[in-house]
Amino acid sequence: MSPLEPFGARLRRAMDERGPLCVGIDPHASLLAEWGLNDDVAGLERFSRTVVEAVADRVAVLKPQSAFFERFGSRGVAVLEKSVEEARAAGALVVMDAKRGDIGSTMAAYAESFLRKDAPLFSDALTVSPYLGYDSLRPAVDLARESGAGLFVLALTSNPEGAEVQHAVRPDGRTVGATVLAHLARENAGQEPLGSFGAVVGATLGDLSSYDLDINGPLLAPGIGAQGATPAGLPAVFGPAVRNVVPNVSRGVLRHGPDVAALRDAADRFAAEIRAAVAAV
Ligand SMILES: O=c1ccn([C@@H]2O[C@H](COP(=O)(O)O)[C@@H](O)[C@H]2O)c(=O)[nH]1
């Protein structure tokens, strides 16, 4: 099977054409209830289909949160497969938010599940955890390169608890989060127009000027909306790296459903606010 064009190049083009917004597909039980749906596989399917119908033809990236599908076992995973297929068919890139991480030999199997081009859950990119050591991710890096897929590696997460690990200072004086960013800069060296190996960096974190965010790769930035960060605040957090930021909004958009037009309007409003904030830098 022929490889895709590298993820970084596909993402850069999608961001330029559609704007950088990433909408999450997070079917929380509470959202299913608010949408008048049952907390079952039929409700899950209706929810995901509606989000894809509403925004997959207009945003650069959709990010299904695998946990909310896995909750329903194999039938939930079947809905996830279908959602990925439909979102990609509508022109959105799909970042599978599954946050996988394990010893290298097991990581290879996770990579096969999400990054092998003919895998049922193949996604344009996968979120992964480097906290078993960055090089445990090597099988995923290698397979992503081979397939034309990408990774988003947890570097500085949006939750306050992340700091005890990610801000910890190593014997060489660098923080753990900074070390993850440095690894990613090496993966992306020389790649144009953008490398395929991104970092997850929360939009909630305040001024990050003490970190080198210039990794020549995308920065997936969750935390806007329900977690309190705003599009207008992005430049203050990311500085000049804001051009490579893919801001994620999940509940902030999803709470406007189930009406398709209302979901679209909400996504369009976030997209416009993000565009204005980035243009001002
Ligand atoms: O640091 C991180 C990494 C991932 N997430 C995920 O992003 C969305 C955020 O959802 P909201 O409803 O917009 O808060 C969710 O899927 C998280 O698991 C994150 O929030 N922070």
pLDDT confidence tier of residue 24, bands split at 50, 70 and 90: very high
Give the mean model confidence (pLDDT) for residues 25-47. Answer: 98
Question: Is residue 247 in some structural domain?
Answer: yes
Q: Is residue 2 part of a domain?
A: no
Q: Using 50, 70 and 90 to split pLDDT, how confident is the model at 171?
A: very high
To test the ligand 1 pocket, which listed residue (127, 157, 158) has its Cβ within 8 A of the most ligand atoms?
A: 158
- For ligand 1, atom 6, name the residue with the nearest CA: 222
Each residue of 114-128: b (16+ CB within 10 Å) or e?
bbbeeeebbbbbbbb
Q: What percentage of residues in the chain have a pLDDT greater than 90? A: 98
Output the pLDDT for position 9. 98
| Strands 245-249 and 219-221, bridge-based pairing | parallel
- What's 204's domain CATH number? 3.20.20.70
Closest atom of ligand 1 to CA, residue 227: 14
The ipTM of this complex is 0.99
Share of the chain above pLDDT 70, in %: 100
Q: Determine the structural domain holding residue 38 and report its residue range.
A: 7-279
pLDDT at 1 over 90: no
Looking at the domain assignment, is residue 93 inside a domain? yes
Going by their DSSP bridges, the two strands 93-100 and 61-64 should be labelled as: parallel
Answer for the pair 198, 150: CB distance below 8 angstroms, yes or no: yes
Residue 207 falls inside a structural domain: yes
Pocket-forming residues, ligand 1, beta carbon under 6 Å = 24, 26, 65, 97, 157-159, 200, 202, 222-223, 225-227, 248-252
State in Å: Cα 162 to ligand 1 middle. Answer: 13
What is the whole-number distance in angstroms between the Cα of residue 60 and the centre of ligand 1?
Answer: 17
Please give the pLDDT value at position 152: 99
pLDDT of residue 2: 80
**pLDDT at residue 280 above 90?**
no
The string of pLDDT tens digits covering residues 195-253 is 999 999 999 999 999 999 999 999 999 999 999 999 999 999 999 999 999 999 999 99
Please tell me the distance from the alpha carbon of residue 21 to that of residue 99, in angstroms, as a whole number: 20
In a domain, 223, yes or no: yes
Could you tell me which residues come within 8 angstroms of residue 195 by beta carbon, excluding any fewer than 6 positions away? 8, 184, 187, 188, 189, 215, 216, 217
User: Which ligand 1 atom is at minimum distance from the Cα of 202?
Assistant: 1
Across the chain, mean pLDDT equals 97
Q: Which atom of ligand 1 is nearest to the CA of 248?
A: 13
Say whether pLDDT at 31 is over 90. yes
Q: In angstroms, what is the span from residue 223 Cα to ligand 1's centroid?
A: 6
* pLDDT 10s digits, 76-108: 999 999 999 999 999 999 999 999 999 999 999
Question: What pLDDT is recorded for position 30?
Answer: 98
For residue 1, being part of any structural domain is answered with no
Confidence tier at 3 by pLDDT (50, 70, 90): confident
Q: Is 99 a catalytic residue?
A: yes
Residues 111-140 have pLDDT tens digits of 999 999 999 999 999 999 999 999 999 999
Q: How many domains does the chain have?
A: 1
- Expressed in angstroms and rounded, the spacing between residue 2 Cα and the centre of ligand 1 is 32
Residue 109 lies in a domain: yes
> Other CB atoms closer than 10 Å to residue 230's CB: what's the count?
17
